[in-house]
Amino acid sequence: MTVNFLAGVFLPVSNLERSVDFYTKELGLRCRGIERWGESRAATLFTHPDKDDYGMLCLEETASKIVPAPKPFFNLNVSGVEALHKSLHNRFIRVSDLEVWDSPWNTHMMFDVYDPDGHPINLIEWAPKEIC
């Protein structure tokens, strides 16, 4: 067996429409639609504007209490992270401070944004360093 790629990340949400609105309008993901998953409702979102096999994020509505993780479980690679941070902050959407850090291979700029249920989502942009 070989793992080909990460196929999806699943998040519980308290209000599906509100969460879909956040992820599509604020983060630019594309929603395939609201579906029935057994007894619950869910939505599958994608990072690519016209392909259903790129970066799935699955939101499942639950009546259970949502307990967000203290740190993000995943990040999304974005372009223009600095402008995005400023835009979200100016619209009073909860974000962490913008961080810049270096690895041996890249310079990274990132921050966390919090969805309507308080799930932290890390948004990151990196630029490769020139290595001799």
Summarize pLDDT for 95-118 with one digit per residue, the tens: 999 999 999 999 999 999 999 999
Q: Hunting for tokens 């919090």 — which residue is that?
A: 114
Number of Cβ within a 10 Å radius of residue 21: 13
User: What pLDDT, on a 0 to 100 scale, did the predictor assign at position 5?
Assistant: 75
Tokens linked to 31: 């929603």
Give backbone dihedrals phi and psi of 113, rounded to 5 degrees, phi first: -120, 150
pLDDT of residue 54: 64
Q: What is the pLDDT of residue 7?
A: 79
Q: What is the pTM of this model?
A: 0.89
The pLDDT score that the predictor gives to residue 49 is 64
**Alpha-carbon span 29 to 25, nearest angstrom:** 8
Question: Which pLDDT value is given to residue 55?
Answer: 67
Q: What is the CA radius of gyration of the chain?
A: 16
**Residues of the chain predicted below pLDDT 70:** 49-55, 131-132
Residue bearing tokens 């995943």: 74
